[in-house]
Amino acid sequence: MEFALSEEQELLVDSVSKMLASACSVDELRSQASGEITFSDKINNEFIGMGLNGLLVPEDLGGSGLGILEASLISEQIGKFAAPAIWVGNSVMTPMCLSNGDNKELAEKWLPKIADGSSTSGIAINEFISKREDNGLSLDDGKISGISIFAIDAEKNPDIIITVVEDELYLIETANEKIEISNLPTIDTTRVMSEIVFHSCTAHKVTGGKELIKKIIDSGRVVLSADLLGASQNMLDKAIEYSLERKQFNRIIGSFQAVKHMCAEMAADLEPCRSLVWYASYAQNDIPEESHLTACHAKAHLSEVSHDIARTATQVHGGMGFTDLLGLHYWFKRIGLTRQILGGPEIVRKEAAVSQGFLNN
């Protein structure tokens, strides 16, 4: 049995990689950090032009009908280039939420628009993972009020927002509703997290309950793990490249045993992660009995490995690693935020333990 990507999957990766390599430079990341919104718009228009927004949308609704594995392959390239793409919530979690057979009417209305880029979706389900005391969302007579924080892909004033109240999913069509969206200040300027305030907004219930909520969270965790994989691989590559250029005492620093060991340990830690992400991605569509556990393992493990690689790769660069000249900090900060989205490693490990019967919920 051959465990490798198909020719079509390799072509998909190559196409996305070449597009991002030409469109997403460190200078562009600096413009994003300074508040220049046209750069993220350019990236998202490229995604729409390549038909990537409809990757998980069923073919009969105008999409490609592919799976989480293909979404993770794209997410790895997004992380590699630290691209400010609207992806995880809009193009992965939303299709996973609506494409099950129980929500046909909502799917037929919105998924074709998500696929062609004419509409966008935000995901505000953080309260299901870590609920705040005396705050959050409430439902009264079919209307949602309250505050949801750390919403994903909501910064472009999305046409729909999918959220959770009392362990049930709801879809809010933002037109003609009183909704306030503000960007939360984080260390990462390449990915925007939002706070959403709902003022008695009409909500459409999405059938599926807790099982569907867990399913879309797992899909999000897996593609975020792939994002961490891509960001870590980029930092490792940059560390190796720098170690073969930088000289001290008339020798490249890559010839020093300490630096060799640092790079070798990063490579040894990261390489098994690729198989873990691939398997977890495959399980989301094809091995449902293992999908939750593998998603937890992938997110928790990649969060820790990427954190260590971010630190070590910066150390290889010495003082240069902390400056804006090389831009390494964009990936360092992206990893720092991504490891916390949809649950940090401690929360995710606890879920994995509960799912295996090692802990009571």
Residues 6+ apart with CB under 8 A from 314: 235, 321, 322, 328, 329, 332
From-to residues of CATH 1.20.140.10 in the chain: 211-355
CATH 2.40.110.10 domain locations along the chain: 121-209
- Written in H, E and C, the secondary structure of the chain is CCCCCCHHHHHHHHHHHHHHHHHCCHHHHHHHHCCCCHHHHHHHHHHHHCCHHHCCCCHHHCCCCCCHHHHHHHHHHHHHCCCCCCCHHHHHHHHHHHCCHHHHHHHHHHHHHHHHCCCCEEEECHHHHCCCCCCCEEEECCEEEEEEEEEECCCCCCCEEEEEECCEEEEEECCCCCEEEEEECCCCCCCCEEEEEEEEEECEEECCHHHHHHHHHHHHHHHHHHHHHHHHHHHHHHHHHHHCCCEECCEEHHHCHHHHHHHHHHHHHHHHHHHHHHHHHHHHHHCHHHHHHHHHHHHHHHHHHHHHHHHHHHHHCHHHHHCCCCCHHHHHHHHHHHCCCCCCHHHHHHHHHHHCCCCCC
Q: Are 164 and 156 in contact (CB under 8 A)?
A: no
Where do we find the tokens 């989205």? Answer: 341
Q: How far is CA 165 from CA 51, 213, 336, in A?
A: 32, 11, 28
**Assigned fold of 211-355:** Butyryl-CoA Dehydrogenase, subunit A; domain 3 (1.20.140)
Residues of the chain with CATH 1.10.540.10: 7-116
pLDDT per position in the chain (361 positions), as tens? 467 899 999 999 999 999 999 999 888 888 887 776 678 889 999 999 999 999 999 999 999 999 999 999 999 999 999 999 999 999 999 999 998 778 899 999 999 999 999 999 999 999 898 777 767 899 999 899 999 999 999 998 999 999 999 889 999 999 999 999 999 999 999 999 999 999 999 999 999 899 999 999 999 999 999 999 999 999 999 999 999 988 888 898 888 999 999 999 999 999 999 999 999 999 999 999 999 999 999 999 999 999 999 999 999 998 888 888 888 999 999 999 999 999 999 999 999 999 998 988 6
- Give domain 121-209's CATH architecture: Beta Barrel (2.40)
Nearest alpha carbon to residue 234 among 76, 84, 87, 88:
76
Task: Tell me the C-alpha to C-alpha distance, in Å, between residue 20 and each of 7, 44, 143, 148, 312.
Answer: 20, 11, 41, 31, 25
Domain 7-116 = CATH 3.30.470.20: no
Structure tokens of 356?
């295996």
* Of 254, 222, 192, nearest in space to 342 by CA: 222
pTM: 0.95
